[in-house]
Structure 1
Amino acid sequence: MMPSFRALPPSLSGANRAVSASNEVDARRIHVPVARAMVDCAIYVEGQRLPGKYTHAAALAKVHELETQGQTAFVWLGLHEPDEHQMESVAQTFNLHPIAVEDAVHAHQRPKVERYDDALFLVLKTVKYVAHESVAQARQIVETGEIMVFVGADYVVTVRHGDHTGLAGLRQHLETEHIQLALGPYAVMHGIAEHVVESYLEVAQLMECDIDTIEEEAFSPDLKTDIAQIYMLKREVVEMRRAVNPLTAALQKITTDHKDLMTKEVTRYMRDVLSLQSQAGDQISSYDELLSSLVQAELAKVGLQQNLDMRKISAWVAIAAVPTMIAGIYGMNFDNMPELHWQWGYPLVLSLMASVCGFLYFNFRRNHWL
């Protein structure tokens, strides 16, 4: 007898298809190679790049082979927005700490430095100035990204998030000036930190032009400033301050608590970067204070204008109150009222109203109420 089969209900078959599709997506994610996220992977021996292309595992194996031969070498692996599975493969190869790996994948971290045994994990916030014709038309002035740097005795792994965080130009510059690369992986960390901090100063200088324009408009008697523009600039400066200021403590920690991992020369370089970082932080803080002052100035201007408007309204109300009061008195319809049946009473009352209103108007104009 042939076995009988029952068709699955439509809801169950749909659920099975959904589960199957989900499994296929997960399978594709698992098999996505690290090369998809890899920007560059190079081996450096005494500051010179070895020719050829390497996977991250082959590069580290080659470095270990060179070290057994008495040569100083390290690998620099650059990744752009890797997923969890790609980063897991890199973490197994370089023995990276799981907590740092999780931070590198999910991003949205504050600038910081953490030490795991004899390795450092540095988080840097990058900034980019968004070009615009005028502040009034701008919707965004500063765009942020992130660079995570894993540094060990024989490797540097950089993980970038954002479209403007490229390090190709820095790598080419260091390869041209190979003296710094000869100092080892921590010299690469210094180069990346210096590159990021210099971009802070460049963006700060560009933002200064926008702030100067707003400041000139705010204190110009002939121009009316939209306070929304000041708030927008304030928001962008606050975003940049959040990217810049925390890095100062991280760099200080590197030059004091973790200087045993670096040579004295690299430590001196890091102190120079710390000096530039302090300069950038001070500049951003001054912008923040200036924009706060501009907000207060605009609010004061609004309050002053409201007072002027209230004075004008009060003056017109006072002028209108005179004829209203006289007309109200003579509109009460009593029989025994003065001048009620006098032939010149009506012209006299109108003349009195006009005279009193004119007198009040003249005095208000003289006192700049109107």
Structure 2
Amino acid sequence: MPAERAVVDCAIYVDGRRLPGRYTHSAALAEVRRRGEGFVWLGLHEPDEHQMTSVARTFGLHELMVEDAVHAHQRPKLERYDDVIFLVLRTVNYVEHESVTTTSEIVETGEIMIFTGSDFVVSVRHGDHSGLSEVRHRLEQSPDRLALGPASVLHAVADHVVDSYLAVTTLIEPDVDDLEELVFTPSTRIAVEQIYLLKREIVELRRAVVPLAAPLHQLTRAPGNPIPKDVRRYFRDVADHHTTVAERIATFDETLSTLLDAAIAKVTVQQNTDMRRISAWVAIAAVPTMIAGIYGMNFDEMPELHWEYGYYSVIGVIVAITVGLFLTFRHNKWL
């Protein structure tokens, strides 16, 4: 399939303003280099290997970049190939649900890959919740930021992704609070599986978020950083927000571990209570069973076997013992 099938948008920006007209990625890059100013921003959605190879030839991208862009599921990372910066970001989206005890999914993830050179930006997204079109629209409303070059796009995308992390953690917090209330409410049964589910979702969120700390550090403080100084200041703000998100996730994980221990302890106590109740009923049932078993033996010579009131006496003894056991167990709160 031609590369154009994967193109979401392709535009030329000069002095922070979008030039009118529609361009192919090759024509756009040629126009920028003919002018000697501005840059191209090409947006792609889930390109296949053939489409990405065509784009890579135009922009001079390394073959390893092509492989990463086609085959998603990369960890967040930052790599440099000569003058090209390659940043991988994991996107997250909160899945709406009625109750944390009935849902099977809370967080879904996607991926954004950004290639930036001196006169181009290539963004590749996997998944349908990245919101890159909103990022492009907001940047086009701020020509002063776009005039800073491709690095401004790199910052805007990273800032958008980290802000989405903050939004998702804010939405997850009530789910954690709901589970906490269920676990510590007396006389309520909590399915431990639901705590495991939320903990699994937090683990997935942590894998998407936490590894981004190192790339953000490189973009702000690494020696030989190609990012302009004016843009680096914005990246520090993104790094601060990322730290806040990472701390929230660590708190969620710690809280869920505590809830899991409490829920298991609660289940254990409930099982002990059930076993004690069952044992009490078994003890009560054992009395008539034992007496009936003794007098059910086929012996001719047994005490009181032919006594006129023997049956009534045995029944009375059984009732007296069982009632006594029942009252004793009830007094001790076994029943």
* TM-score, scaled relative to structure 1: 0.85
1:160/1:166 contact within 8 Å kept:
no
**C-alpha deviations, 1:110-131, integer Å up to 9, x for none?**
1111111122110011111222
Aligned residue among 126, 140, 145 for 1:161: 126
SS of corresponding position for 2:225: helix
SS of corresponding position for 2:131: coil
- The equivalent residue for 2:313 is 348
- The equivalent residue for 1:42 is 11
Amino acid at match of 1:47: G
- The equivalent residue for 1:20 is none
- The equivalent residue for 2:58 is 93
**Number of aligned residue pairs:** 335
- The equivalent residue for 1:301 is 266
Structure-2 change in CA distance of 1:137 and 1:324 (3 Å): closer
1:259/1:267 contact within 8 Å kept:
no
SS of corresponding position for 2:164: helix
- The equivalent residue for 2:27 is 58
Cα distance in 2 between the residues matched to 1:87 and 1:65: 24
Cα distance in 2 between the residues matched to 1:134 and 1:315: 38
Cα distance in 2 between the residues matched to 1:185 and 1:149: 10
Q: CA deviation at 1:285?
A: 2.2
- The equivalent residue for 1:10 is none
Cα distance in 2 between the residues matched to 1:169 and 1:58: 25
- Alignment map for 1:8-157 (pairs within 5 Å): 29=1, 32=2, 34-67=3-36, 72-157=37-122
- Alignment map for 1:203-242 (pairs within 5 Å): 203-242=168-207
1:127/1:240 contact within 8 Å kept:
yes
Name stretches of at least 5 consecutive residues in structure 1 with no aligned partner.
1-28
SS of corresponding position for 1:260: coil
- The equivalent residue for 2:291 is 326
Cα distance in 2 between the residues matched to 1:331 and 1:35: 91
Q: Does 1:283 align with 2:248?
A: yes
- Alignment map for 1:190-205 (pairs within 5 Å): 190-205=155-170
**C-alpha deviations, 1:315-347, integer Å up to 9, x for none?**
111122222223333334445443334443333
2:219/2:227 contact within 8 Å kept:
no
- The equivalent residue for 1:181 is 146
Aligned residue among 271, 274, 294 for 2:236: 271
SS of corresponding position for 1:135: coil
Cα distance in 2 between the residues matched to 1:336 and 1:223: 57
- The equivalent residue for 1:5 is none
Structure-2 change in CA distance of 1:130 and 1:107 (3 Å): same
Q: CA deviation at 1:221?
A: 2.5
Cα distance in 2 between the residues matched to 1:194 and 1:163: 18
Cα distance in 1 between the residues matched to 2:112 and 2:126: 6
Among all aligned residue pairs of Structure 1 and Structure 2, give the percentage whose two residues are the same amino acid: 59
Cα distance in 2 between the residues matched to 1:340 and 1:159: 94
**C-alpha deviations, 1:8-29, integer Å up to 9, x for none?**
xxxxxxxxxxxxxxxxxxxxx3
Q: CA deviation at 1:244?
A: 1.0
Cα distance in 1 between the residues matched to 2:200 and 2:100: 13
Structure-2 change in CA distance of 1:44 and 1:259 (3 Å): farther
Cα distance in 1 between the residues matched to 2:177 and 2:225: 45
Q: Does 1:317 align with 2:282?
A: yes
- The equivalent residue for 1:252 is 217
Amino acid at match of 1:339: E
Name stretches of at least 5 consecutive residues in structure 2 with no aligned partner.
none
RMSD after superposition = 1.9
Cα distance in 2 between the residues matched to 1:55 and 1:339: 109
Range with bigger deviation, 42-51 or 149-158:
42-51
Range with bigger deviation, 236-245 or 358-367:
236-245
